[in-house]
Every structure is written in structure tokens, then in C-alpha cells.
A and B are shown apart, each in its own frame.
Chain A
Amino acid sequence: MIDAALVQKVAGLASLELSEAEATYAVKNLARILDFVAELESLPEPAPSAADEGIGGFSRLERDDLAQPSLEPETAMANAPAREGTAFQVPRIID
């Protein structure tokens, strides 16, 4: 089922580009892993479980919709690989 075309499609969905060697590696290993996990096929469809609701059964908390302190722009921008003023720099979006 797994072939080079499907691997390249999935890589595209994952925003990755694979070299030829990486694609070959991915085809081989993803196929082996998917063969292995096929053992789950026999399981019934899951009923809603604790795993969906939060493990341990404790209830989720909601907080009031109030503004909270957050990072100063300068601090938030400090790790940007490229910036202009207080904006992250990206390539042209409109072709």
C-alpha cells in the first residue's frame, strides 16, 4: 500500500520535503510499521472513554474570559530568525 507516491503526498501534507534517500527509507520503514499496527484491525470501534474526557476522570476547568498579562512584543520577537520592527518577516505571500 505504501509507495513512493503516497510517501511524497504525506510529506507534502506534513510540510516536509524528502530527498530520494529519505523517501526510500520512509517507504521501507513506514510499510513495516503499518504492517505491524495492522494487528489493531480486529478491535471494535471505541466507545467514548476516559481517554477522551481527560485521564483520571477529573473535570476540566474554564477560566473567566479576562485579559491576562502576556509577553512584551520585544520578548516575543527575540527568537525570530528574520524580523522587521515588531513584525516577523516572511517571503511574499501574493505571487
Chain B
Amino acid sequence: MSDLQPFKLTATTISQKVRGGEWSVRDVANFYIERTERYSRDLNTHLFWDPADVLAQAKVQEARLKAKEDLPLAGVPVLIKDNICTRSIPTTCASKMLAGFRPPYDATVIARLRQAGAIVFGKSNCDEFAMGSSNEHSAFGPVLNPWNRAYVPGGSSGGSAAAVAADLVPVALGSDTGGSIRQPASFCGIAGLKPTYGRVSRYGLVAYSSSLDQIGPMARSTEDLALLLDVLSGHDPMDATSRVDPYPNVASSLGGPVALKGLRLGLVREFFGPGLADGTRAALLAAVKLMQEHGALVEEVSLPTLSHSISSYYLIAAAEASANLARFDGIRYGHRTARNGLSLKQLVKASRSEGFGREVKQRIMLGTFALSAGYYDAYYAKAKAGRSLIAADFAKAFGQVDVLVAPNAPSVAFRLGEKSQDPLSMYLGDICTLGVNLAGLPALSVPCGFDPTGLPIGLQLIAPAWEDALLLRAAHAYEQLCPWTKQAQPPL
């Protein structure tokens, strides 16, 4: 169909045109099947997808449309990060440990997407068990950044980010434990939202760090982020941390630049120091100036305890990971060693040691150490103290301003291999995103320009807990003034 053009479609448009009868679900599916076949292998974005299954789903959704069901995501293809369970479709967390695993159930977010008329378009590559910031820790090889294939796409939701950036799907799901939606969205020039902790069910998300993990949407527009958030939000009896209160519709509340009038923006002073790359600083300050010209009130705020976020995060996340990943034992599911003659204990050890990659083992070891007798008070308890202070600092800042402004990373995407041999240097790059997870806040990245080498830059906005709608209205207002994704496309 002639009006199905690469980089012109959004989930919002697709849903409207499909519901209006202008496009069929099948035509949209075929358009994206062709793009995925052409580009996904080179970029290494997909771990599993099945065109026959996509077309079978299209048929089901067409029938539901004919039956006049209300489908807010009618015919919208959604790529799913491979740490989210999809019934009968392989879910590996990009790990040898789960090679061949087919979950017996859909995660709640998948059930909600299907119910809303979406097409589950496949599973995206990511860092193993979502542990990484570059997508180089996948057992199935790194994802390449579509803007420059010598660079990382960010992580851990790198496959989802790169696929949306290359328009292999209009939208995708990622998960964000310490920045894993926002940083790859920023590195790939798309929008990505980490909702407030508790807004989106984690049932069926393979747990990494349960007090930090949150599923969220990735898209090429904030309007699409809102459309997906409305479908994903809501209480789930299967997740004890999901909030019961209902949420008003966000997509219909997005206004234009008028949302900036009187909006109090706070520049987080600690993130604009000498460690921030010049190109990133210039793009962020230009975005802030533009918002100021349209009525936003800008001031600096200080969150001094953010200096503790890397230490607190890596201890808490590793501690929770060491407990969560204890379930992988080679007995009930997942990889089992082929070695014979082992005792039960030896079998579990051998299976885990063969199945997990280096970074996962490292974090399990760090977490086990931090929780072990004699070290708990010195490490884990102190990390919790850091977390409390950071949450208090954010609360204080939100007494002064409505939305905080920050980078997503100290620089644009880095070269493949540049940091992969030095875990601490990789961790240090996460400084701009970790505090949000420790405090359970909503935050997003929206494109705000390119550095001199042509790599994208993202603007991070952060709001108080449960103010996801305010966050999206602010980002949408900026996007209306400066729609970067409409102005430039990656060179495929």
C-alpha cells in the first residue's frame, strides 16, 4: 500500500487507520515483516520472530475488528524485550541459561497488548538478564547502533531501541532497572519511558532486581509512549507491588507547547559538571532554552546524594539478582549440564556455571558477597541508606520544581568494545539514570539533537511518583517544538 512508508508511521496512526478501515492489519504486518527480514539480521536486533505467527495473529485481530471490538492498538506491531515472558514463544533473556525455554504463560503486559489488538512481533536482543549498558553482554552477540554500526545501541534494551530507530517496528517494550530503557532510547534517537514503579505489572518479567525493575514503552514519538502506557498501566493481582488506583487516560491529555507555560523545570546541577560531553551539554541546554522561550520557568536544583547512586544501585541490584537468579538450577527449566556422574549440588553448580555469562556471574558474586555474613552491614545496609537519602533528595527537589532535566548518559553512544573489558567504567556511565530507579520515579528520554559525529542525544525528564502524565505532557510539548525523529533517519 503506497502510504505505508518507512519512518512515516506511528502506532497512533496505524491504530487509527486500521480501525477506520483504510489499512488492513495484514498489510501493516507484511510491511514490517519485509523490513524486519531486510535489516534485523545485520543489526542483530531480534532473537526470535516468526512471520507465520505474526500473520496468524493478524488474522485473529482482523476478526476481532470485524466483530466491532474496541482495540486501541489495532494492528500495531510491538517488539518485546526477550526478558518478558511470551506464551509458547522462546524467552531466553539473551542467555544460554534459558536457550529453548518457552514460557507456559504470557506476562501481564503481553496479555494486555494482545487484548488491545496489538501484534507481538518477536523478541528483541538485550544484555543477558538485562545486566548491561551496551548490549555487548548478550549470549547471542551485540546489537549494532543503526546510526553508526561501530557504536553500541546502549542497553540493556538495545535490541528494542535499535529496532524502533530503524523502523522495524513502530513501538517496542523494554525494561528499566537502572536506565535500560532511557539510555538506549537516547543512544538510538528514539523516545523511551520508565513508568513509576508499581504502575505497570512486572508479572512475567524475568526478575533481575525486583525493587527496581519496571517495564515501559519505546517509540519514535511521545504520543506513542502515552498510547502504550494507557494500555500497560493498571493493577494486576499477580503483582503485589502494582498499585490499585485507576489511571486517567494519558494519550488524550497531551496538549501542545501550551503545557510548558508556567512549568517549573529544574536542571540537576550535579549532571551538568565537567564530566558531561560538550555536544550533549549544548543540545540539552538548547532544548531547555527553547522550553523557556515557550513559558517554562527554569532554575538549577541540587541533589548532592546522587553521588551515592552508583554504589547503592550496584549493591542493591546485585543483591536482589543473586537471590532472583538462584532459581536457575538446571532442574525445572533452562540449561542443564551434559556432564554425567554429578551429585545434585554439583549438577546445579555446573549447569549455572555453563549457562550464565561473565557479567551475570560477576553480579551474582557481588550480590552474594554483599549479603553474606560479616559483610551485610558494611555493604547492603549502607546501600539502603544511600537509597533513602537519594529518595529524600528527589522529594526535596520536587518541592521546588515540577520536572527535573538531566542527560541520560555523560556522552553519546560509545564504540563497541570500548568499555566491555572494564565493568567499573561501564557502571560509571550509568550515573545519570540510576537515581530514578532507586527512588521509584517516572522518567523518560526524548530526542533533542545530535553530536558533531552524528550520534543522537536524548533529553531526560524526571517527574514525581505517579506524575507520568505530567512527564509525558512536558516531553510532548518539547517534541512539538523540535520533532527530531521526523527530521532525521538512521542510514540503513
Contact = CB atoms under 8 A, between A and B. Distances in A.
B112 interface: no
A49 B388 contact: yes
Contacts of A88: 331-332
Interface stretch (B26-34, B100-108, B124-132, B447-455): B100-108
Nearest to A35: B424
A47 B382 CA distance: 11
A46 B379 CA distance: 12
A33 B314 contact: yes
Nearest to A12: B349
Interface string A40-68: 11011111011110111010110100000
A95 interface: yes
B334 A45 contact: no
A64 to B, nearest CB: 11
A61 B370 CA distance: 30
A90 to B, nearest CB: 5
Contacts, number: 168
B150 interface: no
B253 interface: no
B322 interface: yes
A15 B349 CA distance: 5
Nearest to B424: A32
User: DSSP majority for the B interface?
Assistant: helix
Contacts of B391: 49-51, 55
A90 B344 contact: yes
A75 interface: yes
A30 B424 contact: no
A26 B198 contact: no
Contacts of A5: none
B312 interface: yes
Interface of B: 100-102, 104-105, 196-198, 211, 237, 240-241, 243-245, 307-308, 310-312, 314-315, 322, 326, 329-336, 342-350, 352-353, 356, 358, 361-362, 364-366, 368-369, 372, 378-379, 381-389, 391, 423-424, 427, 438-440, 465-466
Interface of A: 7, 10-11, 13-18, 22, 25-26, 29-30, 32-34, 36-37, 39-41, 43-47, 49-52, 54-56, 58, 60-61, 63, 71, 75-76, 78-82, 88, 90-93, 95
Given A51-B388, A80-B333, A91-B344, 5 more contacts: A15-B349, A16-B364, A55-B391, A76-B104, A91-B343
Interchain residue pairs A-B with the least CB separation, the first 6: A55-B440, A81-B336, A79-B333, A46-B385, A37-B311, A40-B382
20 contacts: A14-B364, A15-B348, A16-B361, A26-B361, A26-B365, A30-B369, A32-B424, A40-B308, A40-B312, A43-B389, A46-B385, A51-B388, A51-B391, A55-B197, A55-B211, A55-B391, A56-B197, A56-B466, A81-B334, A90-B344
